[in-house]
A and B are shown apart, each in its own frame.
Chain A
Amino acid sequence: MILLVDPGFRAGSLSMDEFVLPVGRIVERSERDWRCQHYADMETEIPVGTEGVIICGTALKDNGFLAAIDRFDWLKKAGVPVLGICAGMQVLCLVFGGTVREGCEIGMTEVHVTVPHPILPPPPSFQAYELHSFSCEPPAGWETLAVSAACVQATRDPHHPRFGVMFHPEVRNDRVVEAFLEMCGG
């Protein structure tokens, strides 16, 4: 089972329709089960049977999760692959010691691959959909895989299968989610 974590302002909000369900569709197309859990409802550990975690995005104005980052402490103990999308990448960065600052991109944007990785489209660059008002400085030691003119677009923890992407792969870059799912057990 793939756990989709909703960092939105309220459980079951309209943001869930927009940022969680489209990721769920890709998971289904990969013939895997998924379940959605709001971040405020997470326990100290991920549910039994979780083979991978995807922390999804939020609406542009929805940044309340940044003030509740301790609700994501379970990430430190999660032994399964984790993909953070947009808000999810911001969460990963903050939990593991990176920083977040204001930085907005909206719409299709050129993303340059700096370190080729199977999770990303091949170099030199690809088009990706952006919708964020904050951007990330990844934690020390993490590898930057891709950048746009504005900010870091993809990062990974070299010691654990943890990935953050600032763009929304569920829009026109499904393959990123599929490649992540291939790394998950089950």
Chain B
Amino acid sequence: MAQLRLGVLCSGGKDSLFSCFRAMQEEEVACLVTLVPENPESYLFHTPNLHLVPLQAEAAGLPLVSEITTGIEEEEIDDLSRALAVAADRHGIEGVVTGALMSVYQSTRIQRVCHDLGLWCFNPLWYRDPERYMEQLITSGFRVIVSGVFSAPFDASWLGREIDLEALSALKQYARDFRITLTGEGGEYETLVLDAPFFQRRIAIEESVYWYKNYRGVLEVKKARLEER
């Protein structure tokens, strides 16, 4: 069978971009697809630093399909369906790739939308061993920072911290002692990808602000640009 043309659902975090990396090894990635919620409490689509996805798409040399979603739970599915239909129309995608790790809620809904549109659906990180995945992420050349924390015991120093082997070791400790998921699957932390093995250039943050209180905080990137690696 010839390579499939795929669109990768992208939130800007490690899971969607690692899935993109894996998809590129097997198939042809034709575009990134992102949904920008009006409602910051989106059930399905993560919000911090979504505005940097266009810069990531540019860094990767991939076209981006970006659609607004209401962020209202039941309407999000229609918005997703619309975005994927646009991607199919504009870039001829035959399938979708997601970074779903263990969320049955998220994957069920995306599987249904793909089924209705006649698209393939791939979740290459599905039920992946968390430690192995995190190690692979670091060793394969991703540069990922923590862009939000939403759980004890994360302090403010985690905002903007790069997930390297040392940070991973701390996360493993937290996973043991505080029962967070190592990958942040439970929403304990959010990430932003600044560099990936398939990026032609990397993202440099020029200006950012953060807020933090009681184990909850967000690093908001105000200004960023692409630079040579």
Contact = CB atoms under 8 A, between A and B. Distances in A.
Interface residues of B, number: 25
Contact of A131 (B23, B111, B128): B111
Contacts of A12: 26
Contacts of B97: 14
Interface residues of A, number: 26
A117 interface: no
A135 to B, nearest CB: 15
A104 interface: yes
Nearest to B122: A14
Contacts of B123: 18
Interface in B23-42: 23, 26-27
A17 B100 CA distance: 12
Contacts of A107: 104, 108, 111-112
Contacts of B120: 59-62
B115 interface: yes
A79 interface: no
Nearest to A107: B108
* Nearest 3 pairs of A and B residues by beta carbon: A22-B127, A107-B108, A17-B124
Given A25-B129, A59-B121, 15 more contacts: A10-B26, A14-B122, A17-B122, A17-B124, A18-B122, A18-B123, A21-B127, A21-B128, A22-B126, A60-B120, A60-B121, A61-B119, A107-B108, A107-B111, A129-B104
